[in-house]
């Protein structure tokens, strides 16, 4: 994988492939927080300690290839990534917004060829191991993440306590250190005004709802990220089972809400979808917020069989391509906001009108 491709190409597994339940579930993610014994937590780690740790982590680059579990890993020191490219990594869901703001001397990113595996080094913890898959694939995500974790643990000594489990910088991650999340598209529940009740019920069963890019971000385009809150006590399997059971209920509720909309007010739904498609294929200026809202309506139209022209892959590509940083990196040109709005509209028009086989 060329170093530049992670910032310009749309190679992420969640973009290029379609997983189970794609009408509601965009992605499944599993993330493990791990720390190395003998080193202070990142916020207390000095420059010498950070360099030593980076050398140790860098030595793992050949591990995945030799064992066949990771494929090729690319090692990217954060200090060598400028602000725009850091934002691209956020928009592709490879790093967190907090990590992008880091000036830690030991901060680095390891990412696999298919971008399904990304490992943040010295974010809040020494290692944040993430697997991101398309659709509803929590168990598959966990299996791959666990293999990666086992590989790393065979070469690194983790900070672990027999009572508290894996030791983490924040007490809320103690125990398994596991955060699992699912990105869902819920226009039906939003339009039928059931979303408030659903989100309140989610909170009562120990789950949390976040926005498009995780903690501290807003839900846009009717996209919500649902994840576990509790990491200490239940096992990894129990955490995944509980989250999966809730997601299955939400999938059924969203499908029922969509069908209710279609049954009670089909013309209005069709009009909304077709107006969104018409705007996207004719507009000359589009903000990222407006584009996200309209693309949500187009996705709804695809799910209801009103609009079959736009594949899931095109929809996912556009979710990334319309974002401010990716737009500029893809065009290899820095742009002012108004220029971005003009170029965004042109890009969306081109992507939505081209035939799938002509890409």
Cβ burial of 336 (10 Å; 0-12, 13-18, 19+) is exposed
Among 12, 176, 210, CA closest to 98: 210
State residue 330's pLDDT score: 86
The whole-number pLDDT of residue 216 equals 56
**pLDDT at residue 4, as a whole number:** 74
Distance CA 243, CA 294 (A): 29
Domains of the chain: 5-182 (3.30.590.10), 265-358 (no CATH)
Q: Quote the pLDDT of residue 72.
A: 78
Tell me the per-residue pLDDT of 180-236, one tens digit each, with 9 for 90 and over: 999 999 999 999 999 999 999 999 998 999 877 656 556 788 999 999 999 989 999
Q: The whole model's pTM is what?
A: 0.92
pLDDT for res 248:
97
3-state secondary structure the chain: CCCCHHHHCCCCHHHHCCCCCCCCEEEEEEEEEECECCCCCHHHCCHHHHHHHHHHHHHHHHHHHHHCCCCCEEEEEHHHCCHHHHHHHHHCCCCCHHHHCCCCCCCEEEEECCCCEEEEECCCCCEEEEEEEECCCHHHHHHHHHHHHHHHHCCCCECEECCCEECCCCHHHCECCEEEEEEEECHHHHHCCCHHHHHHHHHHCCEEEEECCECCCCCCCCEEEEEECCCCCCCHHHHHHHHHHHHHHHHHHHHHHHHHHHHHHHHHHHHHHHHHHHHHCCCCCCCHHHHHHHHHHHHHHHHCCCCCCCCHHHHHHHHHHCCHHHHHHHHCCCCCHHHHHHHHHHHHHHHHHCCHHHC
Cα–Cα distance for residue pair 341/335, rounded to 1 Å: 9
- How much is the CA Rg of the chain, to the nearest whole Å? 21
| pLDDT for position 328 | 93
Q: What is the pLDDT of residues 72-98, one digit of tens each?
A: 788 999 999 999 999 999 999 999 999
Structure confidence at residue 357 (pLDDT): 46
pLDDT tens track, the chain, 359 positions? 556 789 988 989 999 999 999 999 999 999 999 999 999 999 999 999 998 999 888 887 766 555 555 667 889 999 999 999 999 999 999 999 999 999 999 999 999 989 999 999 999 999 999 999 999 999 999 999 999 999 899 889 999 999 999 999 999 999 999 999 999 999 999 999 999 999 999 999 989 998 776 565 567 889 999 999 999 899 999 999 999 999 999 999 999 999 999 999 999 999 999 999 999 999 999 999 999 999 999 999 999 999 988 999 999 999 999 999 999 998 889 999 999 999 999 999 999 987 544 44
């Amino acid at each position: 994988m060329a170093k530049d491709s992670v910032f310009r190409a749309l190679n992420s597994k969640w973009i290029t492939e379609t997983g189970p339940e794609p009408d509601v579930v965009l992605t499944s993610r599993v993330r493990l927080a791990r720390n190395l014994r003998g080193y202070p937590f990142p916020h207390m780690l000095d420059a010498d300690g950070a360099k030593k740790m980076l050398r140790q982590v860098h030595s793992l680059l050949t591990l995945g290839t030799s064992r066949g579990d990771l494929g090729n890993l690319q090692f990217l020191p954060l200090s060598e990534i400028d602000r725009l490219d850091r934002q691209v990594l956020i928009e592709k869901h490879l790093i967190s917004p907090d990590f992008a703001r880091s000036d830690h001397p030991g901060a680095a990113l390891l990412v696999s060829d298919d971008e399904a595996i990304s490992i943040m080094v010295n974010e809040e913890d020494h290692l944040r191991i993430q697997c991101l898959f398309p659709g509803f694939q929590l168990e598959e995500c966990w299996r791959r993440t666990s293999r990666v974790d086992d590989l790393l643990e065979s070469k690194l000594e983790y900070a672990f306590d027999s009572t508290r489990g894996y030791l983490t910088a924040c007490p809320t991650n103690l125990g398994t250190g596991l955060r699992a999340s699912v990105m869902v598209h819920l226009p039906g529940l939003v339009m039928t005004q059931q979303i408030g009740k659903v989100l309140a019920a989610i909170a009562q069963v120990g789950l949390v709802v976040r926005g498009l890019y995780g903690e501290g971000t807003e839900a846009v385009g009717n996209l919500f990220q649902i994840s576990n809150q509790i990491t200490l006590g239940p096992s990894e399997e129990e955490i995944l089972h509980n989250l999966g059971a809730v997601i299955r209920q939400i999938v059924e509720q969203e499908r029922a809400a969509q069908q209710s909309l279609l049954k009670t007010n089909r013309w209005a739904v069709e009009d909304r979808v077709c107006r969104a498609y018409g705007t996207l294929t004719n507009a000359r200026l589009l903000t990222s917020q407006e584009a996200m809202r309209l693309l949500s309506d187009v996705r709804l139209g695809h799910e209801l069989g009103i609009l079959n022209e736009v594949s899931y892959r095109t929809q996912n590509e556009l979710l990334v391509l319309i974002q401010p940083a990716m737009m500029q990196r893809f065009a290899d040109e820095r742009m002012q906001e108004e220029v971005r709005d003009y170029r965004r509209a042109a890009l969306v028009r081109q992507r939505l009108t081209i035939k799938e086989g002509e890409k």
